[in-house]
Structure 1
Amino acid sequence: MFENLSERLERSFKVLKGQGQITEINVAETMKDVRKALLEADVNFKVAKDFCNRVKAEAMGQNVINSVEPRQLMVKIVHDELAKFMGGEQAPFNVDGNPAVILMSGLQGSGKTTFSGKLANRLKEGKKKKPLLAACDVYRPAAIEQLKTVGQAIGVPVYSEPESKDPVAIALHAIDEAKKTGCDVVIVDTAGRLAVDEEMMKEIKNIKDAIKPNETLFVVDSMTGQDAVNTAKAFNDRLDFDGVVLTKLDGDTRGGAAVSIRAVVNKPIKFVGTGEKMGEIDAFNPNGMADRILGMGDIVSFVDRMQQQYDENEAKKIEKKIRENKFDFNDFRNQINQIKKMGNLKSLASMIPGVGKAIKDIDINDDAFKGIEAIIDSMTPYEREHPEIMNGSRRKRIAAGSGTRIDEVNRLLKQFDQTRKMMHAVTTKNPMKMMRGMRRR
């Protein structure tokens, strides 16, 4: 995402390359290009104009010290102003309560149902919550079945009343069900509606008044660009929601809604959906998003994504096995599954500073682990637990069973053995002592 905007901004900064100082002329020329880049990314015209004026004023008030190039300083100023426009700091998300209630609102097709599942999965895996999904879309055919399918995929219960046409009653009954079953978060998935539909807007307002949610979220498809901002404003005028969710941010190289929406609506973006998988959801971090827009990666979101899949008890078991040099292919297979849950591999890699630009034109297939998984799955349970027994005949059988070549099996076994030895050495020796020893060599 943001690839076109990143490239345009980078070209804009080239005006200052090699120049010894910031002047009104070169700043004006740079900001002209920056404004064009923002408008092409579907950023609101007024927002783009205000943004450029603020950057220009900030740049002209700066004294460039000898160790900093004007281009470097301009990148920093643009970064900081982008972060400010998008909210400055990560907005809090309130899930305190017994149960906490989260109300979803938005247009039809914006991705509310899928996002409800993603949020439930995030709260379950990362916050150790026990969520309940409430099916309150009583209009769309198969809406209840879709939510049940999502709930089943992530192991979260779904409350529904297929015969009822009263979403207010269903939401209230779902909260009662949560109290009875010990669920501590209720996520209320509602029908999509247009801001111009008076009856439907009254309905969502009635649901909100009845259930008094901790959080009311407006879910919007970021690929609608400027329309996303206009729709958010119309909904906020009627519903006064607490925050915005941008879905499908992975499919839009423009991404202007992320820059515009906070400035126009004055409500924080709380989450972004970055793919189709249940794990592809990030808490919105303005600084991290500014990093991504400027092609600097987003290590905060990368760590956040990792923490959602992190199981402390499992990690302790793995560490114990590594210390005892008993880390086996079952453990390795589990680690691959954890990485796959984090989402699209190219998207993950692009969050690492410096990597995004390097892999821009490289296709990283989500099936990258397929060959490794096939090899491990072709091993017997005993072989997975005892990698050291792999002789020539076993390797040939595994290659034939996995549809791979013998050299691929040999390479995986060699890499696994080296990795296991390295992990064992790191966990059993003093890292500082090891580093001192390496320096002496």
Structure 2
Amino acid sequence: MKATLVIRNICEMATPLGSSSRRGSDMGKVHVTADAAIAVNVETIVWAGPQSEMPRIEGPAPEIIDAGGRAVIPGFVDSHTHFVFAGFRDEEFFWRAGGLPYMEIHKRGGGIANTVRSTRSSSLEDLVAVGAPRLERMLELGVTTVEGKSGYGLDSVTELRQLEAMKILDARQPVDIIGTFLGPHSIPPEFEGKPGAYIDFVIRDVLPAVRRHGFASFCDVFCEQGVFGLDDSRRFLEAAASSGFDLKMHADEIVRLGGAGLAAALGATSADHLLKASGEDLDAMAAAGVVATCLPVTAFILREDYADARGMIDRGLAVALATDLNPGSCYSHSIPLAAALGILYMRMSMEEVLTATTLNGAAALGLAAGRGSLEAGKLADILILDAPSYRHIAYNVGMNVVGTVIKRGKVVSVRN
């Protein structure tokens, strides 16, 4: 066996296994190996198992990393973020905390429109500059793959600029970025009261440009009462699918509109939020293999009821957990906080949380065949924790226990 890197003296290696999402009770089946080792050749894992059973290394001597009796897990996959945006909305955080209703915040010039104004006035260089430190902080927390959405331009030029910024950032730093076009995130002032006309514009003018530039893998829509209803959401997503994009949805976050059922009918890769999704629509998602992405930090900040992750798992769904980093409802990229909330308020087990933030996060991006677990043939995206067990990810509530981040077989972050 050839190897360029060997990690040895691992107290506990914990990982889900498989090349697709883990559903239902399988989410709790995490493989834990004591006294383990991992061998990597260039950027691919070639061995992960008991140290005493590791095959002999042939050829040049590999780099050796001594885990020092610490735990090792796969890199986190944050499958839902809005990390490229300009400006802040800190005043809204305190308005909300004081009980100000959303419509009153909107009347004061807040909400998504606030971020749209700032983002439209920002150059490509500005957006790259604000995105880079956010990615650096994600990497320190162990995020090795992240999804990033547009949606703060609501026009052709700025939407493309957001997505291009992600392409540039993807090439400049270690975290893999998966771009998602979220043109139908809100109704811009130019189309106020005319959501159907805005969808027509997006389909006719913006979607072909996104396809032509190759800036995005997915298309997403905010399917919600007062924003984009089921018919407009379906029109956009069907046009996106016809253009070769995979599909995602913001579904049933505020009211039970039926977005989860639409995601199932269209074969979306994931449907996200799902706080108000019906049991019938969740069953349809399970049957269609749609990943349910839950965003507990957003519910925590908005003081809303959490999505019923326990019920989803018991229905046989694959659940992913993501942060929803955005400037309004969730200015946080804390995977550790999402993990703790999953256990404390969503009744998930630690094993289910580990699966939800690694392999199922990868599945929510269509990437589970090549990452999200520690097994031969997968990308060497590996975290060495400053802890003896993977359970410390949630036990250290909201705190970072990631010591060393290895991305594609290279050490890219070490926390002193």
Fold shared per TM-score above 0.5: no
Greater CA radius of gyration, 1 or 2?
1
Higher relative helix content: 1
Structure with greater contact order relative to length (CA < 8 Å, sep ≥ 6): 2
User: TM-score, normalization: structure 1?
Assistant: 0.30
User: TM-score, normalization: structure 2?
Assistant: 0.32
Higher relative strand content: 2
